[in-house]
Amino acid sequence: MLRPFHGFALLTLGIAAACATVPPAITSDPAVTVTAKVETPPVGTVREDAADDPAIWHNALNPPASLVVGTDKKGGLYVYDLKGAQKSFLAAPGLNNVDLIELPDGQVLAIASDRSDPATGQLFIARLDTATGQLAFVTRVAVGAGEGYGVCGGKVEDDGSFTVYSAFKSGAIYRTGLQFLGQELADQTELLNSVPTQTEGCIYDPRTGMLYIGEEDAGIWVMSGLFPGGPEDRRLVAPIDNTWLVADVEGLAIAPEGADGGYLVASSQGDNAYAVFRLPDVTPLGRFRIAKGALGSVEETDGIELDNRYFGPDFPGGLFIAQDGVNAPNAQNFKYVRWDEILAALEGAE
């Protein structure tokens, strides 16, 4: 068994906000447009809703050699390079969201929400060989009863223990502590909190210990990622209003800056846009869409990922990746956008 979770002071969340009433008409705020610079091949599952969520591994020693992992819900996990080329594929039907965790010893783990058993949500864990781009299955970890949708990594401790958050279709949010003990992976799960209806997107901010959760038809919640709580310990910071956010709220990502600043980005799937908020107060900044350019436009995005570090000359100011839920006439895929170009477009619209 693991020792008790590490923690630090919980930030005050205030009183939980009630879900906003959704107006019947969509009157979305204007969105600036950007274009994708790179795209991956279509996923192997054709004519179905299959591609879902990307995750980025940043190669600190050689940023252009960084890697991207993406899910095919019907097939498994793909690994891509920054040119969009496929490096490898690991068959594992039933995976949904994915995140990457780098341990102090240099191991990189791909952790995906596993829906292959509809009665029990699981974590699917594989090891990523960052030199070759190959994935190797490690184990599955049962989380709880129900269907797991979203997943995101939490804090990694110096001793190699780490935390993973699971967002279930029921609205339950679980926290699982994991640690390798020799060849065995010890795990300990507890119910962290819940939201009223179906959730998927989640992102943890290790600087503040706060967890952001997307309730698909309600909006974005913030809660402690360190201590279990109830309705009084969560706060709806960005409600669905059909202006800024249009249901479904899907993927979430952050670009941290400083002690608690930066940006929170959400996929506003209902109007094919992305809403950007300033941290730490989740203040609306602007909205953008990925329009047709040298590559196609992006619609019906599920998962997104964002890293604002340097990735080489192609992505000098950071990398934003979105699942393309249409990509006609081909199967769904993932498209890469320069984060600095997104920020420039948003700032030019202010």
Q: What is the mean pLDDT of the chain?
A: 93
Confidence (pLDDT) at 348: 86
Give the model's pLDDT for residue 28: 67
pLDDT tens by residue, 201-218 = 999 999 999 999 999 999
> Comparing C-alpha atoms, which of 291, 274, 214, 270 is closest to residue 27?
270
DSSP reduced 3-state for 63:
helix
* Residue 13, pLDDT above cutoff 60: no
Give the architecture (CATH level 2) of 32-349: 6 Propeller (2.120)
Between CA 64 and CA 62 the distance in angstroms is: 6
Contact 78, 43 (CB under 8 A): yes
**115 SS3 class:** coil
DSSP letter at 311 equals: -
The total of other beta-carbon atoms located within 10 Å of residue 313's CB is: 8
Q: Could you state, in order of their start, the residue ranges of all structural domains in the chain?
A: 32-349
DSSP-derived letter for residue 230 is -
Are the C-beta atoms of residues 327 and 49 closer than 8 Å to each other? Answer: no
What pLDDT is attached to residue 29? 76
**Distance in angstroms (rounded) separating the CA atoms of residues 240 and 246:** 6
Cα-based angle 56, 155, 129 (whole degrees, multiple of 5): 40
Instruction: With residue 249 as reference, give the H or E element that holds it.
Output: strand 249-257
Determine contact, residues 69/82, Cβ cutoff 8 Å. Answer: no
% of the chain at pLDDT higher than 70: 92
226-274 pLDDT, tens digit each: 999 999 999 999 999 999 999 999 999 999 999 999 999 999 999 999 9
What is the predicted pLDDT for the residue at 230?
96
Mean predicted confidence (pLDDT) in 310-333? 97
Longest dimension (CA), the chain: 56
Burial 203-217 (b: 16+ CB within 10 A, else e): bbbebbbbbbbbbbe
Q: Does the pLDDT of residue 140 top 90, yes or no?
A: yes
Start-to-end CA span in the chain (Å) = 52
Question: Which residue, chain included where needed, has tokens 């979305």?
Answer: 28
Tokens standing for residue 221:
């919640």
Contact (CB, 8 A) for 48 and 299: no
Confidence of residue 149 (pLDDT cuts 50, 70, 90): very high
> Going by C-beta distance under 8 Å and a sequence separation of 6 or more, which residues neighbour residue 229?
192, 193, 223
> How does pLDDT run across 28-62, given as a tens digit for each residue?
678 999 999 999 999 999 999 999 999 999 999 99
Q: Is residue 8 very low, low, confident or very high in pLDDT (cuts 50, 70, 90)? A: very low
Beta bridge partners of 229: none
For residue 260, the number of C-alpha atoms closer than 13 Å in the C-beta half-sphere is 7
- Which pLDDT score, from 0 to 100, does residue 15 have? 33
Closest CA to 2 of 231, 238, 181, 215: 181
User: How far is CA 115 from its chain centroid?
Assistant: 17
Q: How confident is the model at residue 5 (pLDDT cuts 50, 70, 90)?
A: very low
Q: In the prediction, which pLDDT does 25 show?
A: 62
Buried b (16+ CB within 10 A) or exposed e, 57-81: bbeeeebebbbbbbbbbbbbbbbbb
Which pLDDT belongs to residue 20? 41
Confidence category of residue 310, pLDDT binned at 50, 70, 90 = very high
pLDDT, tens only, 92-138: 999 999 999 999 999 999 999 999 998 999 999 999 999 999 999 99
